[in-house]
Amino acid sequence: MSIEALVKEFAEVAANPKAQLKKYKDQGKKCIGVMPYFAPEELVAAAGMVPFGMWGSNDKTISQAKEYCATFYCTIAQLDLEMLLDGTLDLLDGVITPTICDTLRPMSQNIRVAMSEKLPCIFLAHPQNRKPAFGLKFTVDQYTHIRKELEKISGAPVTDEAISEAIKVYNKSRAARREFVKLANAHCDVITPIKRSAVLKAAWFMPKTEYTELLTALNAELSALPVCDWKGAKVVTSGIICDNPKLLQIFEDYNIAIAADDVAHESRAFRVDAPESGDPMMALAQQFAEQDFDVLLYDEQSSSNRRGEFVANLVKESGAKGLVLFMQQFCDPEEMEYPSLKKALDDAGIPHIRLGVDQQMRDFGQARTAIQAFADVISL
């Protein structure tokens, strides 16, 4: 398949999650909604079901969710609830609700109450002290609960062997996505911001064996191309999510390529692999423990600015000239880490802009002006 055909396939999946859901249900598979962040999708796959990412929507309007939620909450969480209420996600067989931020805590309760007669809700509370033995143990306990709840839905035991196999599948998928991110940088004339986003987004709506096969093919095609001589600007993106094609179109309009990302919906989700040997449940706990440089997670070495410096290095190493921060409105963790990120970028002489975004945005006029001005700055 050509690059164009492969990208088109990813783009169709990314743009039509509901059709994807129906496709797998028609195949007789069960599907589990997985809300952000860090849920062990491997367990869903090991249970023979399809994990289905829930990262809000760029096309929906919050309406029924207002019955549960005041306005000052992240729109991703509100739109997840909206889609559960309005029938968009009726085909799901269950939903995993992590609670690592202050919006997801009460939202886990709202979803459980709202779905009480409709859908099993699987609760997940990650530990922040995740690295010591006692933290690993607590993660294993939480994941064991998820495993049991998934077994109830699937009607069959989830074996250690199946989990070990799922870990291998997921590690392969993560490696392919990391490789794709590098190739997208090297071939940013072909993989434009909209295409890059579509390829990475599709991972949330496909079983990873299927997704990785397609992505490996795309990576192979990209590897065969000569590295492009990009004349436009290059940036690193940062934030929770930046998958709105209308917003990314502005990047394309001003010849801005994405060299790498520090985005929860993208690279933050596939930075860390799970060990492939030993107890597979502990391997998944270790994978969570090794998550690092993340606004949502406690940093044991918090007296230094590790995360800010990590992102600044990412900009330098990727060859980008600046950083665009998509600040998700009402996202405390992102907002709390902004001054430290800014300091690290300023210290490293890296220009950045901060764009306030949410998934209810329909007018990107202000963003266009800011991005255009930023493109001029970093092209100097």
Partner 1 sequence: MAETEKTTVAATEAAPVKKAPKPASPGTQALRKVVSDVYAAAWTAKEKGEPVGWSSSKFPCEIAEALGLAVVYPENQAAGIAAQHDGERMCQAAEELGFDNDICGYARISLAYASGVETTNESRRVPMPDFVLCCNNICNCMTKWYENIARMHNIPLIMIDVPYNNEVTVSDSQVAYMRAQFDDAIHQMEKIAGRKFDEKKFEQACANANRTAKAWLKVCDYLQYKPAPMSGFDLFNHMADVVTARGKTATAEAFELLATELEEHVKNGTTTAPFPEQYRVMFEGIPCWPDLRALFKPLKANGVNVTAVVYAPAFGFVYDDMDSMARAYCKAPNSVCIEQGVEWREGICRDNKVDGVLVHYNRSCKPWSGYMAEMQRRFTKDLGVPCAGFDGDQADPRNFNQAQYETRVQGLVEAMEETKKLKEARA
Q: Which residues bind to partner 1, rule: CB under 8 A?
A: 67-70, 72-73, 99-103, 105-110, 112-113, 123, 125-129, 132-135, 137-138, 141-142, 295-296, 298-300, 302-305, 327, 329-330, 332-333, 335-340, 342
At its nearest, how many Å lie between partner 1 and the CB of residue 135?
Answer: 7
Residue 189 beta carbon to partner 1: minimum distance, rounded to whole angstroms = 35
Q: CB of residue 37 vs partner 1: minimum separation in angstroms?
A: 12
Cβ neighbors of 231 (< 8 A, separation 6 or more) are 255
237: Cβ contacts below 8 Å, ≥ 6 apart: 258, 261, 262, 263, 266, 323, 324, 325, 326
Q: Who's near 274: CB < 8 A, 6+ residues apart?
A: 42, 167, 170, 171, 280, 283, 284, 286, 287
Q: CA triplet 193, 198, 202: central angle to 5 degrees?
A: 155
Looking at the Cβ atoms of 17 and 135, the one nearer to partner 1 is 135
Measured from the CB atom, the residue of 253 and 339 that comes closer to partner 1 is: 339
Q: How far is residue 84's CA from residue 77's CA, in Å, rounded to a whole number?
A: 11
Q: Which is nearer to partner 1, 54 or 114 (CB)?
A: 114
Minimum gap (Å) between residue 91 Cβ and partner 1: 24
Please say whether the dihedral angle defined by the alpha carbons of residues 141, 152, 56 and 65, taken in this order, is positive or negative: negative
Q: Which is nearer to partner 1, 69 or 353 (CB)?
A: 69
- What tokens were used for 147? 């495993």
CB of 322 vs partner 1, minimal distance in Å: 17
**Which amino acid, 130?**
R
Pick the closer one to partner 1 by CB: 181 or 345. 345
* Residue 69 C-beta: closest distance to partner 1, Å: 7
- CA 270 to chain CA centroid, nearest Å: 8
DSSP H helical ranges for 205-362: 208-223, 245-253, 280-289, 306-318, 332-347
121: DSSP letter = E
Looking at beta carbons only, is 103 or 212 nearer to partner 1? Answer: 103
Task: Yes or no: say if 274 and 166 are a contact pair by the CB < 8 Å rule.
Answer: no
Phi, psi of 198 (to 5 degrees): -60, -45
- CA dihedral sign of residues 13, 14, 16, 17: positive
Measured from the CB of residue 224, what is the shortest distance to partner 1 in angstroms?
Answer: 44
Question: In terms of CB distance, is 94 or 333 closer to partner 1?
Answer: 333
In angstroms, the CA 160 to CA 78 distance is 35
Q: What is the DSSP letter of 269?
A: G
Whole-number minimum distance, CB 151 to partner 1, in Å?
Answer: 18
Smaller CB distance to partner 1: residue 304 or 369? 304
User: 31 pairs with which residues across the strands?
Assistant: 50
Q: Which residues pair with 322 in a beta bridge?
A: 235
- Terminal C-alpha separation, the chain: 39
- Residue closer to partner 1, measured from CB, 330 or 364: 330
- Report the residue number, 31 or 114, with the smaller CB distance to partner 1: 114
Closest contact distance (angstroms) between CB of 221 and partner 1 is 42
Question: Which class for 320: exposed (0-12), middle (13-18), buried (19 or more C-beta within 10 A)?
Answer: buried
In the complex, the smallest distance separating the C-beta of residue 102 from partner 1, rounded to whole angstroms, is 4
